[in-house]
Amino acid sequence: MSTERFDHEVTTTCGYCGVGCRLEAHAAGGRIASISPALDGPANEGHTCLKGRFAHQFTRSRDRLTSPLIREGDGFRVASWEEAYARIVRELTRIKRDHGPNAIAGLASSRATNEDCYAMARLMRAAIGTNNIDNCSRVCHSPTSFALRKSLGLSGATGSFTDIDHADVALLIGVNPTQGHPVVGARIKQAALRGCKLITIDPRRIELSDYGVLHLAPRPGTNAAVVLGLSHVVHRDGLLDDRFITERTTGYAEFETLLDSYGPAAVQEITGIPAADIERAAHIYGEAGAASLLWGLGVTEHKYGSEVVQLLCNLAMMTGNIGRPGAALLPLRGQNNVQGSSDMGALPDTYTAYRSVADEATARSFEEAWEVPLSREKGYTIPQMFDAAIAGDLKAMYVFGEDIAQTDPDTAHVAAALENLEFLVCQEIFENETTRYADVILPASSFLEKCGTFTNAERRFQKVEAPIDPPGGAKTDFEIITTVSRMLGHDMGWASPWDALDEIARLTPEYAGVSRDRLGRKGLQWPVAADGTDSPTLYEHEFATADGLGHFAALPYKAPGDAPDDEFPLVLVTGRVLQHYNAGTMTRRTGNIELVDGDLLEIHPDDASRLWITNGDLVSLRSRVGRTELRAHVTDRIEPGHVFTSFHFPETRTNLLVGQSADVNTACPEYKVVAVDVRPVSEQPAFTPDLAGV
């Protein structure tokens, strides 16, 4: 490609999913002219998906926020940065004075850099004085983090994407990589074509099922029974790694006793999967020389999602499939920096690297660095923030880069919480469902307009560089957050995000060797020793638990929080499509809208026929807590008794349907099991999804 027409070129990291593709971004005249994949990108190796390569036009969309907005009456007026900052400082200072620091909460953004998220956490802890800080991992992979720490010690994948290339078997459960993580999905296809045996476990027949040797379609909410059934057969048929279990784990005897209740026939009754398929899948996985496990939100976004991840850790440990090439546990993270936002301590109970806010030595180290006293009390999680706002205990929120009114469950509950706040700050690149409730809106930066680092699903720190500046009067998130903090009386003292990265490394042993220079073009996978040695593979010799052993968890199957009945006979599952990303904030403002211009409801032909629904019909979708409408897509990709839709278009308001059932350990919402009633819209009164007055 000729470079003569470009006036600025940088290598950066993609801001869409958690794969972490390295990109060559080419700019001309202050706009992105083109993007191509970096040939030496460790996660993408010269590949990218249509979002990473082509969906960049949003950066100069006509509706980008370019000036601060302040609420005036029922609308907003343009304001100067000085006025916006002054309003924020005045209101937060008043609320802190009158109600205490715990009346204020903040949300960090998993679309933003590690340094942005670390700054947001420091703002809340040091400038406000509260641990009320959380991020969107709460509603996606918090169960993964909880389970991995409990079972193995560290909150991250045990290996790298290269393990897919070396695996004899890859078992995918509750994840659809060709849609949600396309470059990894392509890598899995290539592995299958070379002979890797794929097992897919999902209520839908995903694209990768066509490349696999076996597809299992469980009833939604029965993942635990599936994994227990596989473990039963592995144990029963002697497919164990006895030496690994004896030398490197603890708690197996209790788990072994539990397995007696989960023979293939019993699991068939719970899951609907034929017993013979359970046995076949267990043998394929258990007999492999090296087998990898991959999962996504179809595992975590359940009432017992964290327990299922612990059971997956059990399955890997009992077969010795941890700590060697091709034998990895690979949770596929949804957003580009959902791993990093939590790693950076943007959580209500931990500082960086998941060290407890109650740990005295850790808290003192941050107190000394920041020169302020810090709270040892755990703060609010996102769901607790909403409950506290409705109760009147939480008075203000600072929401940074997350459209909670669109993406969080039980939309009416979220709307009620936001309306009940005395003061709401939204820091965003576009107006959205959440900014409707804001008192101040701050125009921020996209990933193509900032510097710092992202951490991908492999635990890999990678550099982010800015090919263009934010448009108009918009500013980088880092500048905004550090300025607000300084005006509140806490000067972070950083000249750039790279100064923040140096502080992160200085205060976090697991990231001690991370620096801008050392990251180079390929990044570093944490833990990173002080000399810069990183860790592509975890647990080669011991686990990171207190005793150095992997911990088996004897966790039985429990029924999901919702279930079909006569009134709500179908089960709704939600997910992504290839062309769009999460709430569609960015991709709907690109050419991708011409490829997919709305959410559809997938329904099996048998159910469609029974309900007098034909392809393309407008249908009413009703749950116990809400109702919406969308077009039907009749397909045998979905199993009878189930329906599926994505959540990329705000007019669909998919999360109106999702109640407050959540993971028992982490409060991650149960998006994946919602009992619903579906019928042609002609059978229902006219409907408009309007939350006004909620």
pLDDT digits (tens, 9 = 90+) for 146-176: 999 999 999 999 999 999 999 999 999 999 9
Predicted local distance difference test score (pLDDT) of residue 662: 85
- 269, 296, 331: which is the final residue of a domain? 331
Q: Which residue has the higher pLDDT, 300 or 98?
A: 98
Paired strand residues for 173: 201, 295
Predicted local distance difference test score (pLDDT) of residue 582: 66
In the 8-state DSSP scheme, what is residue 442?
E
Residues 342 and 324 in one domain: no
Segment 49-63 mean pLDDT: 87
Give 690's pLDDT tier (boundaries 50, 70, 90).
very low
* End-to-end alpha carbon distance in the chain: 54
Residues 194 and 316 in one domain: yes
Give 408's pLDDT tier (boundaries 50, 70, 90).
confident
Give 441's pLDDT tier (boundaries 50, 70, 90).
very high
Residues 131 and 243 in one domain: no
Residues 128 and 243 in one domain: no
In the 8-state DSSP scheme, what is residue 613?
-
H-run or E-run covering 225? helix 223-236
In this structure, of 76-90, 216-230, 676-690, the range with the lowest mean pLDDT score is 676-690
Distance in angstroms (rounded) separating the CA atoms of residues 501 and 510? 13
Enter the tokens of residue 584: 């569609």
Q: What is the CATH number of the domain that holds 652?
A: 2.40.40.20
pLDDT digits (tens, 9 = 90+) for 333-344: 878 899 999 999
Residue 236 phi, psi dihedral angles, 5° rounding: -60, -40
Q: What is the CATH number of the domain that holds 353?
A: 3.40.50.740
Q: Is 3 exposed, middle or buried (0-12, 13-18, 19+ CB in 10 A)?
A: exposed
CA-based R_g, the chain, Å: 24
Distance in angstroms (rounded) separating the CA atoms of residues 165 and 105? 43
- 313, 331, 349: which is the final residue of a domain? 331
Structural domains in the chain (count): 3
pLDDT digits (tens, 9 = 90+) for 265-303: 999 999 999 999 999 999 999 999 999 999 998 898 888
Predicted local distance difference test score (pLDDT) of residue 661: 84
User: Could you tell me if residue 554 is inside a domain?
Assistant: no
Segment 184-203 mean pLDDT: 97
Distance in angstroms (rounded) separating the CA atoms of residues 201 and 554? 22
Question: Tokens 């790279």 identify what position?
Answer: 498
Residues 122 and 163 in one domain: no
Contact 358, 351 (CB under 8 A): no
pLDDT digits (tens, 9 = 90+) for 577-626: 767 766 677 777 777 777 777 888 999 999 999 999 999 999 999 999 88
Predicted local distance difference test score (pLDDT) of residue 385: 96
Give 693's pLDDT tier (boundaries 50, 70, 90).
very low
Instruction: Provide, rounded to the nearest whole percent, the portion of the chain with pLDDT above 90.
Output: 80
DSSP 15-67: SSBTT--EEEEEEETTEEEEEEE-TT-TTTTT---HHHHHTTGGGG-TTB--S
Contact 135, 117 (CB under 8 A): yes
H-run or E-run covering 411? helix 411-420
pLDDT digits (tens, 9 = 90+) for 101-136: 999 999 999 999 999 999 999 999 999 999 999 998
Does residue 663 register a pLDDT over 60? yes
Q: What is the CATH number of the domain that holds 161?
A: 3.40.228.10
Distance in angstroms (rounded) separating the CA atoms of residues 29 and 147? 48
User: Could you tell me if residue 151 is inside a domain?
Assistant: yes
User: Could you tell me if residue 172 is inside a domain?
Assistant: yes
Segment 37-54 mean pLDDT: 92
Predicted local distance difference test score (pLDDT) of residue 6: 81
User: Could you tell me if residue 207 is inside a domain?
Assistant: yes
Residues 285 and 434 in one domain: no
Range of the domain at 396: 80-135+337-461+471-512
pLDDT digits (tens, 9 = 90+) for 508-521: 999 999 999 999 99
User: Could you tell me if residue 24 is inside a domain?
Assistant: no
Paired strand residues for 171: 199, 293
Residues 358 and 485 in one domain: yes
Using DSSP's 3-state secondary structure scheme, residue 300 falls into helix
Predicted local distance difference test score (pLDDT) of residue 692: 43
User: Could you tell me if residue 431 is inside a domain?
Assistant: yes
- 282, 313, 331: which is the final residue of a domain? 331
pLDDT digits (tens, 9 = 90+) for 385-407: 999 999 999 999 999 999 998 88
Contact 283, 239 (CB under 8 A): yes
Predicted local distance difference test score (pLDDT) of residue 178: 93
Using DSSP's 3-state secondary structure scheme, residue 329 falls into strand
User: Could you tell me if residue 622 is inside a domain?
Assistant: yes
Q: Which residue has the higher pLDDT, 500 or 577?
A: 500
Predicted local distance difference test score (pLDDT) of residue 350: 97
User: Could you tell me if residue 36 is inside a domain?
Assistant: no
Residues 377 and 484 in one domain: yes
Give 249's pLDDT tier (boundaries 50, 70, 90).
very high
Using DSSP's 3-state secondary structure scheme, residue 678 falls into strand
Q: Measured at the alpha carbon of residue 491, what is the angle toward residues 487 and 494, in degrees to the nearest 5?
A: 125
Nearest by Cα to 38 from 57, 19, 25 = 25
Average pLDDT over all residues of the chain: 93
CB-CB neighbours of 489 under 10 Å: 11
Contact 396, 95 (CB under 8 A): yes
Residues 120 and 166 in one domain: no
Amino acid at 420: N
Residues 150 and 228 in one domain: yes
Residues 366 and 317 in one domain: no
Non-local CB neighbours of 7 within 8 Å, separated by 6+ positions: 27, 28, 29
Helices 477-487 and 81-99 pack at an angle, to 10 degrees, of: 50
Residues 192 and 311 in one domain: yes
